Chain A
Amino acid sequence: MAVLRPFDKLPALNSAVLLLVSSDEGLQQKLAEAILREKKNFKINIHLATSLPLPSERDHLRPRIDMIVFMIDIKSKYSLKNVEASLAYVDASFFLGKVCFLVTGVGRVNCCSIEMNAIWKLGEIYSSPVLFCELEMEGIRVATAQRLLRMLQICAGHIPGVSALSFGSLMRSSAND
Chain B
Amino acid sequence: MRGFLDTHRTGQAVALGEDQRPVPLRKHAPGLGDFIMDETVAEYIRRTVLKIPRDEIKTMLQKWGFLSEAQLQTINFHQLKDNISQDVVQLCEENSADIKQAAVLDIIYNYIYPNKRVWSVYQMNKTGEETDFFDLTDFKKKIKRRLRSALKNVTITFREYEDNAVWIRIAWGTPYTKPNQYKTSYVVYHSQTPYVFISASVLKSNLPLLCQALVVASNYHDIREMELRSHSLNSLKDIVFKRYSQNFQTYYPKPLRERDVAPETDLRIIQENKNEKERIERVNREIFGDGPQPKLEFAQYKLETMFKSDPKMDVLDKKEPFRCLVKFSSPHLLESLKSLAPAGMADAPLSPLLTCIPQKARNYFKIREKKGLFPGSFVSP
Chain A residues in contact with chain B, CB under 8 A?
A: 19, 22-26, 29, 32-33, 36, 43-51, 54-55, 57-58, 62, 76, 78
Contacts and interface: CB of A to CB of B under 8 A. Distances in A.
Nearest to A22: B344
Contact of A23 (B266, B271, B277, B344): B344
A29 B278 CA distance: 17
23 contacts: A19-B272, A23-B344, A23-B345, A24-B345, A25-B342, A26-B343, A32-B266, A32-B269, A33-B269, A36-B266, A43-B268, A44-B268, A45-B270, A46-B270, A47-B270, A47-B272, A51-B273, A54-B272, A55-B273, A55-B276, A58-B272, A76-B345, A78-B345
A48 B265 contact: no
B344 A24 contact: yes
A23 B270 CA distance: 16
Contacts of A50: 273, 276-277, 344
B216 to A, nearest CB: 52
B346 interface: yes
A48 B266 contact: no
B10 interface: no
Contact of A29 (B268, B269, B342, B346): B269
Contacts of B269: 29, 32-33, 36, 46, 48
Contacts of A47: 270, 272
B59 interface: no
B266 A33 contact: yes
Contacts of B276: 50, 55
A11 B342 CA distance: 33
A163 B271 CA distance: 28
Interface string B269-293: 1111101110000000000000000
Contacts of B273: 48-51, 55
Contacts, number: 53
B100 to A, nearest CB: 52
Contacts of A78: 345-346
A131 B376 CA distance: 51
Residue of B265, B266, B270, B273 with highest tally of chain A CB at under 10 A = B270
A48 B272 contact: yes
Interface in B154-189: none
A25 B271 CA distance: 10
A36 B343 contact: no
Given A23-B345, A24-B345, A48 B268 contact: no
B25 to A, nearest CB: 54
Nearest to A19: B272
Residue of B269, B271, B272 with highest tally of chain A CB at under 10 A = B272
Contact of B272 (A29, A36, A55): A55
Nearest to A78: B345
B34 to A, nearest CB: 65
Contact of B268 (A46, A49, A58, A76): A46
Contacts of A57: 275
Nearest to A37: B266
Given A23-B344, A24-B344, 7 more contacts: A23-B345, A29-B269, A32-B269, A43-B268, A48-B273, A50-B344, A55-B276
Interface in B231-288: 265-266, 268-273, 275-277
Contacts of A24: 343-345
A55 B345 contact: no
B284 to A, nearest CB: 14
Nearest to B342: A25
A177 B208 CA distance: 71
Nearest to B280: A50
A1 to B, nearest CB: 14
Contacts of B343: 24-26
Nearest to A32: B269
Nearest to B266: A36
A49 B270 CA distance: 9
A91 to B, nearest CB: 17
A15 B272 CA distance: 19
Contacts of A58: 272
